[in-house]
Structure 1
Amino acid sequence: MSPTLSRWLPGLLLSAALPVSAYAEGPAYGPELQGFDYPYTVKHFEFESQGQSLQMGYMDVAAHGKANGRSVVLMHGKNFCGATWDTSIKALSDAGYRVIAPDQIGFCTSSKPERYQYSFQQLASNTQQLLKALGIQKASLLGHSTGGMLATRYALQYPEQVEQLALVNPIGLEDWKALGVPWRSVDQWYERELKLSADGIRTYERNTYYAGRWKPEFDRWVDMLAGLNKGPGHAQVAWNSALIYDMIFSQPVYYEFQNLKMPTLLLIGTSDTTAIGSDIAAPEVKAKIGHYDVLGKQVAQRITQSTLIEFPGLGHAPQMEEPEKFHQALLAWLNKTNPVR
């Protein structure tokens, strides 16, 4: 075991002291989500990054029926995986799109390196290498939650390779640290992530993502995340998660939305209250962050070619809460802003 992780053995003992029910429920998966069923075949892209060999799991789903010659790249959120795009992959494929759904480094079926300098620029570069290897020169991006921050960074970094940009309840519509949310160290994030449980995930997502509502089909995604965390890669998964949280908090894209030049769609569930660090923010700070019913409108005004579609009453993942309504809106916009090739 590396010095980095071995120094955290006391933290592992602490997590073992949690109530038995927190870890007894649900399955456990391997460090690269071995044992969890994906909706389509998972392939692996091997590449070198920061002096080490890594691999990205991804799904490459061909157009079903008549292909339109266009590709859509899906970028998942922090508590999500490529698999959680299952209904979106089907809807897009049925509409004639080739769909690429990668798991970013540090997530799900991809490598969990012990040492890695996480940045949205690096994750964008990793994804760009994957697309190049697949022969995709231009694509439309669909990013959800943290994937919205990544998709925005990708579009800023490789604008000539992005035809359209669609963001689903992206976090990063505000700069939490500038608004007074306290900073957590990576060590503090790590201690927090070691204690992750299915009960805790479900409670957080119900209250923050879905305005107190819950659907039975969401339990599969809770088991996915909790099972990854409590499996044999427990410490490794938690360490990477801590590094990723630090990246999210410290690398805002908020100040660059006005630099986006391609057609951009904001798909916003207005009941979402997600805001990184709100659990430790002072009451007066917590009261003013995470208001997606306001944030969507504000950011749409800063993007030159923006379209805002709101889903009143829906939460952080409208594509999962009301997939038919969501995909109807998404596909109508994709077709309307179809770039001339």
Structure 2
Amino acid sequence: MTRFVFGALCAALLATSSLPAFAAETPPREPYGINLEGFPYPYPVQLFPVTNDGEQLQMAYMNVAPAQPNGRTALLLHGRNFPSSYWAPVIKTLTDAGFRVVVPDQIGFGKSSKQSGDLHFDTLARNTMGLLDHLGIAKAEVVAHSTGGMLAVRIARAYPDRVTHLVLTAPIGLEDYRLSVPPVPTEKILEAEDRLTAEGYRKQLETNYALKLPPDQVTPYIEARFNIKGSADYPRWLRAFVASYQMIYREPVVHEIPLVSQPTLFIMGADDHNAPGRPYAPEALRAKMGKNAELAVALAKLMPNARAEVIPDTGHLVFLEARDKYDALLLDFLGK
């Protein structure tokens, strides 16, 4: 009887128009800013001012000190679709081994400013060397992933005395995409990227990157991209992001890779067939693109001091998917 009276009372209260209605769903998350304001990073973020093509910008970075320094610095260079925060496990591995670790977000990415014009690898390389100068770092071990691998090659070629070892982790740019993909107008890419949904982006990552990670480990990075759609500055972010595609397409580095003289290690996922621009390529050419492990092995043989290691059953995010094997290869190589 008591339960009946209580239930009837609740029903009456809910039916009373003068009382506020209870929310049926959790309120939507407040949008991130286009510099990922509101998105957490694993270590404190600082800002370094740069000027690119006359535009005043801020380059975000993490500068992580080890408990027991070995006197060496590692520079980590991120890929296109993830903020530099995804390097967290590698930062810990390296700092535990005594390395100081510097982890920038390149201009146009993560917590750095979003430029209004084009992006260029030479400009990003110059920004990165300016950051090392600002921090008083003369030489660094360069550890790069994906698009960061293309930037790393440009840095190694333009500033050879600043790079002691080069670790290319599932890099893209091991082929010249212009040979398979016709030029695509920026406006067309803008439209395609703007139509993409969070679920569509998840499927895109699963397909392009051969993801082996549990879905919950990928969700924060999907939110990092799609939670900025509520920002008033989202169109600026979108144009900056598309500019990075055009940079990859217009500025190949594969022809420079055999000329890299520093000790170099490719760490590849055997299942990684990521190839930017594949959807825009003629269908007959798509299957020939993205044979990244094979390309890395072949390129290493053309270099004066390089080797390639291929980790089975691993995709594009090799340092997250095969952490123990990756860490062992990384530390062994840098130790030498």
- Using structure 1 for the length normalisation, give the TM-score: 0.87
Supply the RMSD in Å over aligned alpha carbons: 1.6
- 1:31 positional shift: 1.2
- 1:243 positional shift: 1.1
- 1:77 positional shift: 0.3
Preserved contact between residue 318 and residue 326 of structure 1 (Cα < 8 Å): yes
Question: 2:30, 2:300 → 1: CA distance?
Answer: 41
Structure 1 residues 9-68: Cα deviation after superposition (integer angstroms, max 9, x where no partner): xxxxxxxxxxxxxxx98763101100000000000001222212110010000013x211
Is 1:94 the equivalent of 2:96?
yes
Name the aligned partner's letter for residue 91 of structure 2: I
Question: 1:26, 1:314 → 2: CA distance?
Answer: 33
Name the aligned partner's letter for residue 62 of structure 2: M
Question: 2:94, 2:229 → 1: CA distance?
Answer: 30
Structure 1 residues 293-335: Cα deviation after superposition (integer angstroms, max 9, x where no partner): 3112112112211021111110001111122221121111110
**Number of the residue aligned with 1:67:** 69
Pairwise mapping of residues 1-341 of structure 1 onto structure 2 (< 5 A)? 28-64=31-67, 66-114=68-116, 116-178=117-179, 180-210=180-210, 214-336=214-336
Structure 1 residues 261-280: Cα deviation after superposition (integer angstroms, max 9, x where no partner): 10001000010111111112
Preserved contact between residue 211 and residue 317 of structure 2 (Cα < 8 Å): no
Question: 2:28, 2:290 → 1: CA distance?
Answer: 31
Bigger Rg, which one:
2
Question: 1:233, 1:70 → 2: CA distance?
Answer: 39
Preserved contact between residue 187 and residue 242 of structure 1 (Cα < 8 Å): no
Preserved contact between residue 264 and residue 306 of structure 1 (Cα < 8 Å): yes
Name the aligned partner's letter for residue 98 of structure 2: G
Question: 1:218, 1:79 → 2: CA distance?
Answer: 11
Question: 2:282, 2:35 → 1: CA distance?
Answer: 36
Preserved contact between residue 26 and residue 223 of structure 1 (Cα < 8 Å): no
Question: 1:25, 1:221 → 2: CA distance?
Answer: 17
Question: 2:260, 2:275 → 1: CA distance?
Answer: 23
Question: 1:69, 1:195 → 2: CA distance?
Answer: 48
Name the aligned partner's letter for residue 59 of structure 1: M
The 1:27–1:299 alpha-carbon spacing in structure 2 relative to 1, beyond 3 Å, is farther
- 1:215 positional shift: 4.0
- Using structure 2 for the length normalisation, give the TM-score: 0.88
Higher deviation after alignment, 227-236 or 184-193: 227-236
Q: Percent identity?
A: 37
Preserved contact between residue 174 and residue 254 of structure 2 (Cα < 8 Å): yes
Alignment gaps of 5+ in structure 1: 1-23, 337-341
The 1:217–1:157 alpha-carbon spacing in structure 2 relative to 1, beyond 3 Å, is same
